[in-house]
Amino acid sequence: MSDAHLDSAVLATLRVVMEDEYPVLLDTFLKDSEERVRLLHQACAVSDAYLLRQTAHSFKGSCSNMGAPLLTELCRELEDSARREQLDGANELIGQIEREFAIVRILMRAERQRFGASG
C-alpha cells in the first residue's frame, strides 16, 4: 500500500481500535466520501462558496482520520479557496479530489477485502 495515498500506520491503529467494526468503518468512509464528492460538484455548479467550504472541511476531517494525506491536503486547499470565495479553480481542484479519491477507494476496497469480506 502506498503511504502517499493511505497511511498504513493510521489504518493499523484504526484496525486495533475498531476491531470487528473496522470493515464497517471502511464501508462508511467510502459511502460518505462518495456523497461528499457529489456535494462538492453540486456546490461548485451553483457557485455556493459556503456549501463548498463546509463540505470540503467535513471531507478533510474524515480523510485525515482515515489516513488519506493527499486527499486531506486537496480538501484543505479547496476549503481555503472557498473561505476566500475564490472559486475560479474550484472545478479543477474538485477533479483532483475526485481522482485522488478514486485511488483511495481502490486501496480501501483492497483493505476491506483483507480484513473482512462479510459485513
Domain boundaries, the chain: 8-114
Per-residue pLDDT of 14-63, as tens digits, reads: 999 999 999 999 999 999 999 999 999 999 999 999 999 999 999 999 99
- pTM, 2 dp: 0.93
- What average pLDDT does the segment 74-87 reach? 97
Is residue 61 helix, strand or coil? helix
CATH 1.20.120.160 fits 8-114, yes or no: yes
Confidence of residue 96 (pLDDT cuts 50, 70, 90): very high
Confidence of residue 115 (pLDDT cuts 50, 70, 90): confident
Q: Is 116 left (phi over 0), alpha (psi -120 to 50) or beta?
A: left
Cα–Cα dist 108/26, whole Å: 7
Residue 11 has pLDDT above 50, yes or no: yes
